[in-house]
Structure 1
Amino acid sequence: MLYCGVHPDYRNKGIAKQLYETFFGKVHELGCSTVRDYEGEDSIISASRKG
């Protein structure tokens, strides 16, 4: 289980996108074919923005 958040002072700078891309790249590299995530109701990242 992993929790990751971006401090409000650093939001809207592409940091969360970079974290997601790095994470999913690494798990793919390790051979993981399925990843499940949950975004709380206050999440500012939508599934469509993540791809």
Structure 2
Amino acid sequence: MIILGLILLLLGFALGIGILWTIGIVLIIIGAVLWVLGSTDRAVAGRRHYW
């Protein structure tokens, strides 16, 4: 999710499309929060892991 956010952020910046910029920032923030919660061995949405 963080990588997808970075890609959208770069595309939005390069192409001048504001909505891609905004979606990229939101995805980076959500990905970072999930990464931190997962690294602290905390269950996210009732699941310990995604597989």
* TM-score bin, normalised by smaller chain: 0.3 to 0.5
Larger helix fraction of residues:
2
Q: Which is greater in Rg?
A: 2
TM-score, normalising length: structure 1 = 0.42
TM-score, normalising length: structure 2 = 0.42
